[in-house]
Amino acid sequence: MAPDRSAIVLTLEGVVAGYGPMTILHGTTFAVERAKITTVIGPNGAGKSTVFKAVFGLIKVRTGRIAFGGEDVTNLAPRQLLAKGISYVPQGRNIFPELTVLHNLELGGIAAPPEIDLPARIEAALDRFPILRSKAKAQASTLSGGQQKMLEIARSMLLDPRLLLIDEPSIGLSPMMVRETFDILKDLRDRGTTILLIEQNARSALQMSDRGLVLEQGQTRLADTAKALLNDPRVGELFLGGGSRPEHGAEEK
Ligand SMILES: Nc1ncnc2c1ncn2[C@@H]1O[C@H](COP(=O)(O)OP(=O)(O)O)[C@@H](O)[C@H]1O
Ligand SMILES: [Mg+2]
């Protein structure tokens, strides 16, 4: 099923991008619906993270077009995209371990326009994530991996973005923290945030998603409802990274 055209908030059309002489995205095209969770899956090296870097202005789009809210945002700088309501949580740990939890959170407001009431935003974030309030004065390094990811999400949501790009948040987290992280994403979606998520944990991510995209070799292979993808035998094949591993590999992570 194609996305509802009237509800599309982000589109990539024929995006070509890469690193130096290397081309990774070979005309990537897809559309993302507003206030939905769309999960991007695909084998390692497919270009999933590269798509996010292209959308967030971290690498140059050579040809093609990226539109957000109907506006051409191709090759804008990250701070311009932040101002337009796009937020990005990269893969891995992105907190400042030596700084307090509160100070890390405050950094989410560094690009805030003057009319924003930052202390109120920070209070609201601490209300929403009680664990961050209880550890507000502690060094961020004392948080567990899951709590650190929560801090990153809270920081990225401080300016109330319309679109959150989140790359592999579940890596290294316990199953309980993965569920908690997914619950946070569902809650953000229910409050109207559009979420584009990259996940290795494809099955459980699709189970909580509205839509999914399968990316392979820098191109969209499949784009459908999450449910349709879960039931699509081709998806199992792609999960195996080309089908060279045994079938049961598709069941795990
Ligand atoms: N900074 C970089 N410089 C050069 N090549 C890179 C860089 N980042 C990623 N690549 C290459 O781009 C390809 C796609 O990477 P990536 O988008 O990270 O894939 P995925 O997220 O789907 O696993 C891989 O072959 C990877 O080695
Ligand atoms: Mg990646």
Ligand 1 centroid – CA 46 distance (Å): 8
Q: What is the pLDDT of residue 238?
A: 62
Q: What is the pLDDT of residue 141?
A: 96
The topology under which CATH files domain 5-93+161-251 is: Rossmann fold (3.40.50)
Helices (H), 13-161: 48-55, 78-84, 101-106, 118-128, 130-134, 145-156
Angle formed by the axes of helices 175-190 and 145-156, nearest 10°: 10
183 in Cβ contact with 177 (< 8 Å): no
216 in Cβ contact with 43 (< 8 Å): yes
Q: What is the pLDDT of residue 113?
A: 81
User: Which of 24, 91, 171, 216 to mutate for ligand 1's pocket (most ligand atoms within 8 Å of CB)?
Assistant: 24
Q: What is the pLDDT of residue 252?
A: 38
pLDDT tens, N- to C-terminus, the chain (253 residues)? 888 888 999 999 999 999 999 999 999 999 999 999 999 999 999 999 999 999 999 999 999 999 999 999 999 999 999 999 999 999 999 999 999 999 999 999 887 888 889 999 999 999 999 999 999 999 999 999 999 999 999 999 998 999 999 999 999 999 999 999 999 999 999 999 999 999 988 988 999 999 999 999 999 999 999 999 998 988 876 663 333 333 343 443 3
How many CB atoms sit inside 10 A of residue 135's CB? 18
* Pocket of ligand 1, beta carbon within 6 A: 19, 22, 24, 42, 44-50
Please give the single-letter amino acid code of residue 140. A
Give the residue, by CA position, lying nearest to ligand 1 atom 7.
Answer: 19
Over the Cα atoms of the chain, what is R_g? 18
Give the residue, by CA position, lying nearest to ligand 1 atom 10.
Answer: 19
Q: What is the pLDDT of residue 63?
A: 98
Q: How far apart are CA 148 and CA 79, in angstroms?
A: 23
pTM as predicted: 0.92
Give the residue, by CA position, lying nearest to ligand 1 atom 9.
Answer: 50
Spell out which residues have Cβ within 5 A of ligand 2, the ion: 48-49
Instruction: Name the E strands within the chain.
Output: 8-19, 22-33, 37-41, 63-68, 71-72, 86-89, 163-167, 194-198, 211-216, 219-225
Domain extents for the chain?
5-93+161-251
